[in-house]
Structure 1
Amino acid sequence: MSRTNRRGGGAMRSIDTLDTLDQHQLDFFHEFGFLKLPAFLDSDTVAALESEVRDGLARSYQLPTDKPSVVTGYEGFYLPLMAEHSPTSRALTSGNGLLSLGGQLLGAPVMPKPAKGILYSDASGWHRDAAHPDLRAIKVAAYLSPVAAESGALRFVPGSHEQQFSDRLAAFRDRHPESTPLDEAAEAAWWPGITAATDPGDLVVFDVHIWHAALFGSLRAQWSVSYVAIPETESQRAAARDYIDLFLRVGHRYDTRTFPYYDPDWLTDERPDFAHAMADLGLFDAEPGEE
């Protein structure tokens, strides 16, 4: 039994095992840039994750109870879930199941960008998470309540993870920027998106270069983690480092001692193999003190 499995309780199939993705799934992801994995997490895992996400956010923020009157397109509350009081999140992040998923989709060994609990309080217009051509990374998202097209489910422009297409849509976005406040109906009408509706336990996995949005939803909780191909060139190293530690540089304010960004186990001499690659990038030197 692995150290990760002991810490997480050992009951969750998806921590340490993952059936090999079939060729149809792999081809779909590579062609279209996203993939839905229904019922990947069992109900006990979902319940544990939801408790960690909601309890952590409630400890750190004054959370809203109603949808904001003005839809900005970016309001939300974000928190790393890598401390000892988030054992399920830690176990999933470091477990062989999601590490294997990342490795299969990216075709290389991977390292995690630490997991977060998020409460989105309004919609999100069309955007991509990353633009650097030398970054190879995927994001894994699990919503903790049912979401559909009319309630904030993720929408994707299929194939827009391909660099030239992604860059063309960036130019389109520049020519036709989001309105302020966000006009969700216009965002839905003028972008040809495919909606990935999910129930709790489903995962949505997507290339970080793909254009995506989440419209007409509010107060929806999500657990997410990303996986980055271990870099080989200097340009890849810079892109991976910038993507992984971006969270520390964008100004989220919370108790960073109670909620460290990096799993404390990754900082020890017995760290997992992927954490040696992360240390080699200098990532662990970036952890701030309490804000």
Structure 2
Amino acid sequence: MGLLDSEQTAFFDSFGFVVVRGFFTPEQSGRLFREVVESLTGQYPQVCREPEPAARTGAPVDGVTSYFLPLMNPVTTPVSCALVNASPLRDIAEQLLGADALVKPPKGTYLSNASPWHQDTAEPHLRAVKCVVYRDELCAADGTLQFLPGSHRGDLAERLAGYREEMAVDGEFHELGEERRWPGFVPSLGPRDVVVFDPHIWHGSVHGRARFSWTTSFVAVPEGPEERAAARRYIAQFLGQDFVYDQETYPYYDPRWSGRDAPSFAGRMRELGVL
């Protein structure tokens, strides 16, 4: 029996996301975000100095004030590693995928900006779910994720790609323009909650303040060459975005994680060519 009930799985299948309330205990959430915050502030001292943006100012947002770190070090980020190795979170992902899962490395993230409406991927042959946890209670005015329910597949996803191009804002990204043009559904999220969504769904983050999050993706073990190619591209997506950080201290796949005591699915990832 899966961890999600039939109503939750039906909600995910129909709308492309589901919020799992109370997934973490306060102690578990605290340990996870100690890892996230200590890693990010240690690597990026400017995170401690970033001003907290005021919500709903209407001022243009640069769209780039964000910091990311892979958290696959089993010594310094053991809680993060445990969540992707073997945990109820992995069980939920595999229940929704209906398949064994590979993992896209978890990341600690600091955001103090908005995000335009987008899909994480439009790969038709990719089967994956993405998980996001925030350190603090967030609502619409705080920059929590918003979704367009049901936009993860079919004609609607394709029509929205055309709408995105047609409604593109010239010059600087503007939050109020994104809010006016996209009618998002905004789930309130807290540090004990996990939102799990199909990376094909259209989503964004409008308005907001400084916020820490933890994210990871689980990818169904691919079948056939097209799924294998899509899985490789999605898992390696982060590496092509030119983030500047100490890659020796924070490798995308830490050799200590993928070595002798690696979880069983690591062998599948070697076969796929991502380790």
Whether 1:79 and 2:69 are equivalent positions in the alignment is yes
Return the match for 1:99 from 90, 98, 104.
Answer: 90
Offset, 1:253 = 1.0
Count of residue correspondences: 267
State the partner residue of 1:47: 30
Q: Which residue of 2 aligns with 1:108?
A: 99
Percent identity of the aligned residues? 40
The CA distance in 1 between the partners of 2:103 and 2:171, in whole Å, is: 34
Q: TM-score, normalised by structure 1?
A: 0.87
Residues 75-224 of structure 1 aligned to structure 2 (within 5 Å)? 75-83=65-73, 84-224=75-215
Counterpart for residue 226 of structure 1? 217
* Alpha-carbon separation, structure 2, partners of 1:192 and 1:275: 40
Supply the AA of the counterpart residue of 2:50.
Answer: T
Moved over 4 A (4+): 67-70
Q: 1:180 offset after TM fit, Å?
A: 3.4
Q: What's the secondary structure of 2:90's corresponding residue? A: helix
CA separation in 1, counterparts of 2:28 and 2:87? Answer: 15
SS of 1:267's partner is: coil
Q: Are residues 1:66 and 2:51 paired?
A: yes
The residue matched to 1:221 in structure 2 has which SS? Answer: strand
Shift of 1:65: 2.1
Q: Distance in 2 between matches of 1:118 and 1:81?
A: 10
Q: CA deviation at 1:72?
A: 2.0
TM-score (norm 2): 0.92
Gaps of 5+ in 2: 54-58
Q: Over residues 226-280 of structure 1, what are the superposed CA-to-partner deviations in whole Å (9 max), with x where a residue is unaligned?
A: 0000101101001101111111221111111111211434422442221111111
CA RMSD of aligned residues (A): 1.6
Which letter maps to 2:15?
A: F
